[in-house]
Structure 1
């Protein structure tokens, strides 16, 4: 594959090691109005945007999440720290799962741990999950590098002028297959959970 592709991959793999999560202590301890929530999310998650004009979260999105039972309703139009943590979960899930699947996944958590007044709460769940994900980054980088190496060995019999483009296509297909299989697995696991509306 082209040297540019290799440089780009190396740059991405190096950036993986710098991936971090929004720490609960970085979230204001006071309840926030909608504008303050969207501003906070933009400042914390802006680096995950593909294009500069992309919005992390809009007022409409947040209202829809509350309306669709993904997010507990605000209190007097204000959102707590725990609201923000649930919104971060939604932000990461929304590119992979349907709204209904996200509701099925999050509703048991919000019903049991959201503002429960106990030591083990939504913040505890969030920190544990983020710690697990952070511990997987090195292995993830190795897996991606191995996929790239394997894809670089494909299409050896293709016309030389097309080989690099086909190898890049092969690498993208490998990444897509990985995402596809994991998405199928996630959906199967979610299908085993109780339906929040009791329809299953």
Structure 2
């Protein structure tokens, strides 16, 4: 079984280099209708698709987020800049967290900072968080290369025809374990947050 692991790691590094985030200044300051929201999100987050035909957000998804109190309801069927910021957070969180966990995490933010007149609002929170994430790309590339080198040192005595595949399997296992541990830690922090704040997942009010 022939697997070109060097080509795979090269493609991974290339894709990571192209990772960006939706800049606050790129988000319209005017309210948008549903079709405009989905078009905007599709254009801005297209780089994160696995397959070309994948949808970033659909009308059904957005309606369900509002129904489940993840997203404040639109005003007269129009969505503000703050709505878009919340949708971006949801988009990233939904790949690793349950709806209930996202409610616990975003509920306090939307309750206090959605349409806030204070200096600290959703835009400033979003800007600080995502600019920090963007700065981690170089560190992530270094970390991935270290794990790749570790995986390349495995299965030296395996049959030659299987060696590349087994090394790739080792690399995927290392990355998967990393994701598993981080996901477990995130869930624990959210559980602690829920217990500490006694926050209602529906985030309509505190108990």
Assess same fold via TM > 0.5. Answer: yes
* Partner residue in 1 for 2:73: 73
Please give the per-residue CA displacement for 1:96-126, whole angstroms capped at 9, x wherever unaligned. Answer: 0000000000001111111011221000110
Q: How far, CA to CA, are the matches of 1:32 and 1:79 in structure 2? A: 5
For 1:51 and 1:20, the matched residues in 2 are separated by: 18
- Deviation of 1:199 after TM superposition, in Å, equals 9.6
Q: CA RMSD in A?
A: 1.8
Tell me: CA distance 1:123–1:2, structure 2 relative to 1, closer, same or farther (3 Å).
farther
Q: Which residue of 1 aligns with 2:47?
A: 47
1:125-168 superposed Cα distances (whole Å, 9 cap, x missing partner): 10111111111111110000110110000011211211111111
Structure with higher RCO (Cα < 8 A, 6+ apart): 2
TM-score norm. by structure 1 comes to: 0.95
Please say which of residues 8-17 and 106-115 is displaced more in the overlay: 8-17
Which of 170, 195, 200 does residue 196 from structure 1 map onto? 200
Q: CA deviation at 1:196?
A: 2.3
Deviation at 1:27, TM superposition (A): 1.0
After TM superposition, list the pairs within 5 Å mapping 1:21-170 onto structure 2: 21-170=21-170
Q: Distance in 2 between matches of 1:72 and 1:139?
A: 35
| SS state at 2:43 partner | helix
State the Cα distance separating 1:7 from its structure 2 match: 2.0
What is the TM-score of this pair, normalised by structure 2? 0.92
